[in-house]
Structure 1
Amino acid sequence: MTMPRELIVEADGGSRGNPGPAGYGAVVLDPATGATLAERAEFIGVATNNVAEYKGLVAGLRAALDLFPDAAVHVRMDSKLVVEQMSGRWKIKHPDMKPLAAEAGRIFPPGRVRYEWIPRERNKHADRLANEAMDAGRRGEQWSPAASSAVFDRPAADLTADLAAARKAAGDATAGAARARAALSGATAATTAGRPAAAPADDGLFTPDEALAAQARASLAAAATVDRTTATGDFEAEAAHPETPAAAPAAEASGARGWAGPDMGAPATFVLLRHGETALTPEKRFSGSGGADPELSPAGLRQAEAAAAALAARGTVQEIVSSPLTRCLQTAQAVATRLGLEVRVDNGLRETDFGAWEGLTFAEVRERYPDDLDAWLASSKAEPTGGGESFATVARRVAAARDRLTAVYAGRTVLLVTHVTPVKTLIRLALGAPPESLFRMELSAASFSAVAYYADGNASVRLLNDTSHLR
């Protein structure tokens, strides 16, 4: 068998904190069959997202070079920055990026590598590897491939027979696609008629008819792969994306990316739910993470149930993440019970520590600590009396939680049950608004807000302080 005319390299990198604990992932694919030829991943310590992405690119190109040194390479990444810089359309200004870009450019001769931006949802393999590497680093380990994922990660001489067999199977699948569709249709009808109504669909057991259906589905999947291949073996993307116009870099610099550029794919959507009322809420007392941890009041419990009913009716939430404080956990659990989901906790979603102001009203703080209050209102870096958290500190914590969660839940709709300051901070950061905007937003107990986060790093505020479910 001749070597592949072109290899596919998909790469990604991530940082939990940006900068923070970082890792990359890369996969080399056969364009004709989609078979995994090699996987690479590594935990790289503390770094930025961009550094991790570039290191993933370098690792993927080196893996491709090890397999077939004379092949051309089609790189697909969801990092617009890396794709545009390596394509020569954007300048590389950051000093950390220049040596990595130069290293990537030296691996294959000029003209043998082409770059394509893809949405994050189409880069899941590399993204998974990057997250596996970061998870391994958190355990104090380095990533190592699972046996099932390393089957093809061997020298080129050992790959040729397997690739020939895989391509032959794909060709046979194309020739027999009509038979496969007929078999699938007949087998599906047979299994629907023959399976007892109470039998679970995922019990792992196959009747002869179900085996036929599964075989037909596999044939169709292989046929679909070949249908996306041209006569010369060049891989065609399943969903074409328009070329970025020459003005795109300027649009990105101005923050217009989220709607002016190509389709960014499904965003990570955060539905932001402020917890229900506690006894302190109607009295407008400071209630943060540094004082008492109050439970929901009877009114707050009713609000949590109303929010849960509204979310159940919408049916869009796929995950639930909560602040660790009791009032949020109670609110989150009301929703989780309705939706049949688990509640995960992220400490970054907790409320501000208001120090000595905890439990006091605004008027009481004004009377007791007038100078400290004036300083707090004038600067996001000022702390409440007694060593509380400044808004700048909270913003860094919330932004780190946002980055963690968007990486984990890319393309999914997640309910974040949290507090006034974290919700307002997420809205402020998404809008690029100044810190003083925190004092210009109304956020009622048990209200909904929403922000969508796209693969290009842009965000779109979709909702703020919706209380229609409480009426």
Structure 2
Amino acid sequence: MSGLTVAVEADGGSRGNPGPAGYGAVVLDIDSGDVLLERYASLGTTTNNVAEYSGLIAGLTAAAELGADHVAVRMDSKLVVEQMSGRWQIKNPGLRPLAAQAATLVAKFSSVTFEWIPRERNKLADALANRAMDEAAGKPVSSAAVDLDVTTEPKRERNWAPPSLDKATRLILVRHGETAMTQQGRYSGRGDVPLSDEGEAQAMAAAGRVAGISRDVAAVVSSPLLRCTRTAEHIAAELGNIPVTVLPELIECDFGDWEGLTFAEVRERWPEQLDAWLDSTSVAPPGGESFKTVSKRVRGAMATLLSAYPSSVIVVVSHVSPIKLVLRDALASSDAFLHRMFLDAAGVSTVDMWPDGGIAVRSVNETAHLR
């Protein structure tokens, strides 16, 4: 078994059934049991089962944010475990949309297992669910949550006011400068092609734009390919020669047999495979890598950076596919975004992220510095 494996423990409750409800979910390191992420929220007035499914959805979403490949779900809801395992029918029409949403999340992982556990083994998630209900009712935090040292921050308020940058981690996403392949509109994945002369100039211009956004940069990280590391070197030099860190997970998608070809050439030789690839992120080019696979490693890289550089500014130099995937997730967009969004060589995008899951996309594909 390869890739990140986590446990998700989830719970939900309703004081009245239906009544004031809330859910809680924790993502745990499968070996150490350490808590990696926590989620909880109130749901207004609803039923126990709706709250339990909501906890599952929150836990699976959090596991996906960490880039997990394998998930072991543990819940004390026999109903949810049996229905998600396919052994019980979902007779309540009100639960079917929630089960479908959970199933869509399950499909994003390489494997997901479901296990029923007694309530006394689900104390963390139970405490979070009760905390959500207590806070919604204006009550002091329950003693169970205090005893368990639960420190998850409250759910962010939704409003139109500019979000405070307190505790935010800012990602400045930079696509590498132009190469000969870029000029010719060819698929350029794992081939290690250098920047063209124009690409060198673009990289220096991007460095100036990054410095204009922030000179207080904690790290410059890059894909291992030359076109990115060279772009990153220009940025690091502009920022005072700070080190460039190579992060292998930021490498471009492997386009396999399509490497070096134009879209028209691929259309002529692999028409059916191209249509299938355009229709689904789970489909890989012949001999290559699917966007779903790329997404998993890129999410893992983002989780690593957010953990290593909290409340900091990070410059991420990568390629079209990884940057599009980060922006897709940040904008809560569909997979169609990947084939509709254009990213210029040396374009700059800025995303702010908070520990409680809040996200603000500040800019996408800035190019004014290239004119």
> What is the TM-score with the length of structure 1 in the denominator?
0.50
Say if 1:380 and 1:390, in contact at 8 Å, map to a contact too.
yes
SS in 2 for 1:269: strand
Matched, 1:444 2:332: no
Distance 2:7 2:144 in 1: 33
How far the C-alpha of 1:84 sits from its partner, in A, is 7.8
Partner of 1:306: 205
Q: Point out where structure 1 has 5 or more consecutive residues left out of the alignment.
A: 1-16, 23-47, 58-77, 120-243
Residues 106-156 of structure 1 show CA distances to partners (whole Å, capped at 9, x for unaligned) of: 9xxx8486477576xxxxxxxxxxxxxxxxxxxxxxxxxxxxxxxxxxxxx
Say if 1:424 and 1:438, in contact at 8 Å, map to a contact too.
yes
Partner of 1:373: 274
Partner of 2:238: 338
How far the C-alpha of 1:327 sits from its partner, in A, is 0.2
Matched, 1:81 2:39: yes
Partner of 2:167: 266
Say if 2:7 and 2:27, in contact at 8 Å, map to a contact too.
no
Matched, 1:276 2:174: no
How is 1:372-451 mapped onto 2 (pairs within 5 angstroms)? 372-385=273-286, 387-451=287-351
**Aligned CA distance change for structure 1 residues 264 and 333 (closer, same or farther; 3 Å):** closer
Partner of 1:51: 28
Residues 35-92 of structure 1 show CA distances to partners (whole Å, capped at 9, x for unaligned) of: xxxxxxxxxxxxx9623599558xxxxxxxxxxxxxxxxxxxx96636989xxxx966
Say if 2:5 and 2:29, in contact at 8 Å, map to a contact too.
no
> What is the TM-score with the length of structure 2 in the denominator?
0.63
How far the C-alpha of 1:396 sits from its partner, in A, is 1.4
Say if 2:172 and 2:313, in contact at 8 Å, map to a contact too.
yes
Matched, 1:285 2:262: no
Distance 2:145 2:308 in 1: 30
**Aligned CA distance change for structure 1 residues 317 and 49 (closer, same or farther; 3 Å):** farther
Say if 2:7 and 2:74, in contact at 8 Å, map to a contact too.
no
Partner of 2:264: 363
Partner of 1:164: none
Structure 1, 435-444 or 92-101: larger mean CA deviation: 92-101
**Aligned CA distance change for structure 1 residues 287 and 258 (closer, same or farther; 3 Å):** farther
RMSD: 3.7
Q: Which of 116, 123, 126 in structure 2 is aligned with 1:102?
A: 123
**Aligned CA distance change for structure 1 residues 21 and 96 (closer, same or farther; 3 Å):** closer
Letter in 1 for 2:237: T
Letter in 2 for 1:295: P
**Aligned CA distance change for structure 1 residues 83 and 407 (closer, same or farther; 3 Å):** farther
Q: Greater relative contact order: 1 or 2 (C-alpha under 8 angstroms, separation 6 or more)? A: 2
Say if 2:181 and 2:260, in contact at 8 Å, map to a contact too.
yes
SS in 2 for 1:360: coil
SS in 1 for 2:317: strand
Distance 2:228 2:333 in 1: 26
How far the C-alpha of 1:312 sits from its partner, in A, is 2.6
SS in 1 for 2:357: coil
Say if 1:51 and 1:96, in contact at 8 Å, map to a contact too.
no
Q: Which of 357, 360, 368 in structure 2 is aligned with 1:460?
A: 360
How far the C-alpha of 1:431 sits from its partner, in A, is 1.5
Q: Which of 278, 283, 296 in structure 1 is aligned with 2:195?
A: 296
Distance 2:120 2:366 in 1: 48
**Aligned CA distance change for structure 1 residues 305 and 433 (closer, same or farther; 3 Å):** same
Higher strand share: 2
Higher helix share: 1
Distance 2:7 2:74 in 1: 17
Distance 1:458 1:436 in 2: 23
Say if 1:257 and 1:456, in contact at 8 Å, map to a contact too.
no
Partner of 1:173: none
SS in 1 for 2:188: coil
How far the C-alpha of 1:447 sits from its partner, in A, is 0.4
**Aligned CA distance change for structure 1 residues 318 and 364 (closer, same or farther; 3 Å):** same
Give the percent of matched residue pairs that are identical in Structure 1 and Structure 2. 39
